[in-house]
A and B are shown apart, each in its own frame.
Chain A
Amino acid sequence: MTFTQSILEALESLNGNKMRSGLTVLGIVIGVAAVIAMLAVGNGAQASITGSISSIGTNLLFVFSGSQAGPPGGPGSGRSGNNDRPLTLSDAEAIADPFAAPSVELVAPAIQGNGTLTYAGENTTTSISGVTPTYATVRNMELAEGEFVNEEHILGRMSVVVLGPETATTIFGHADGVIGETIRIEGQPFRVIGVTVPKGGGAFGSEDNAAYIPFTTAQARLIKKSTRDEVDVIFIQAISAEAVPLAADEVSNIVRQRHRTPIGIDDFTVFTQQDFLSTFATITGVLTIFLGGIAGISLLVGGIGIMNIMLVSVTERTREIGLRKALGARKKDILLQFLTESSLLSLIGGIIGIMFGWLIAFIVGKVAAATGNNFTPIVGTDAIILSTSFSAIIGLFFGIYPASRAANLEPVEALRYE
Chain B
Amino acid sequence: MDLVIEARNLTKTYMMGEFEVRALRDVSFTITRGEMVSIMGPSGSGKSTMMNTLGCLDRPTSGDYILDGESVAEMNDDQLASVRNRKVGFVFQSFNLLSRLTALGNVELPLRYAGITEGRRERAQAALEAVGLKDRMSHRPYELSGGQQQRVAVARSLVNNPAIIMADEPTGNLDSKVGKEIMNLLLNLNKDLGTTLIIVTHDPNIAEQTQRVIRLRDGELDAAYDDQGRKK
Contact = CB atoms under 8 A, between A and B. Distances in A.
Given A330-B82, A412-B52, A324 B58 contact: no
A327 B56 CA distance: 11
Contacts of B92: 323, 415
B109 A327 contact: yes
A281 B224 CA distance: 91
B60 to A, nearest CB: 13
Given A326-B90, A328-B86, A412-B58, A13 B96 contact: no
Contact of A326 (B57, B78, B101, B160): B57
Contacts of B57: 325-326, 411-412, 415
Interface in B35-91: 52, 55, 57-58, 77-78, 81-82, 84-86, 90
Contacts of A12: 100-101
Contacts of A325: 57, 81, 84
A283 interface: no
Interface string B127-167: 00000000000000000000000000000100010000000
Interface stretch (B110-118, B171-179, B188-196, B210-218): B110-118
Interface in A253-298: none
A328 B100 contact: no
A319 B101 CA distance: 15
B21 interface: no
Nearest to B94: A319
Given A1-B113, A411-B57, A415-B57, A328 B82 contact: yes
Given A1-B112, A326-B84, A412-B58, A331 B77 contact: yes
Contacts of A333: 113
A321 to B, nearest CB: 11
A142 interface: no
Contacts of B86: 328
Nearest to A408: B77
B121 to A, nearest CB: 13
A330 B52 contact: no
B223 interface: no
B98 interface: yes
Nearest to A327: B110
A15 to B, nearest CB: 8
Do most interface residues of chain A lie in helix, strand or loop, or is the interface mixed?
helix
Nearest to B53: A412
Contacts, number: 60
Contact of A329 (B52, B81, B117, B160): B81
B84 A328 contact: yes
A328 B110 contact: yes
A226 to B, nearest CB: 88
Contacts of B90: 326-327
A2 interface: yes
Nearest to B110: A327
A325 B115 CA distance: 14
A319 to B, nearest CB: 7
A323 B98 contact: yes
A73 interface: no
A87 B52 CA distance: 96
B78 A327 contact: no
Contacts of A319: 96
A16 interface: yes
Interface string A323-350: 1111111111100000000000000000
A323 B96 contact: yes
Given A5-B112, A333-B113, A412-B58, A328 B85 contact: yes
Contacts of B101: 12
Contact of A327 (B52, B113, B117): B113
Interface string A406-418: 0000111001000
A319 B92 CA distance: 12
A323 B91 CA distance: 11
Contacts of A13: 100
A104 B77 CA distance: 80
A416 B87 CA distance: 22
A328 B86 CA distance: 8
A330 B81 contact: yes
A320 interface: yes
Contacts of B96: 319, 323, 415
A327 B85 CA distance: 5
A327 B162 CA distance: 11
A324 B100 contact: no
Interface string B177-214: 00000000000000000000000000000000000000
22 contacts: A1-B112, A12-B101, A319-B96, A323-B92, A324-B109, A324-B113, A325-B84, A326-B90, A327-B84, A327-B156, A328-B81, A328-B82, A328-B85, A328-B114, A328-B160, A330-B77, A330-B78, A330-B81, A331-B78, A331-B81, A332-B78, A412-B57
List 8 A-B pairs, minimum CB-CB distance, nearest first.
Answer: A328-B85, A328-B113, A330-B81, A327-B110, A330-B78, A411-B57, A323-B96, A412-B57
Interface of A: 1-2, 5, 12-13, 16, 319-320, 323-333, 410-412, 415
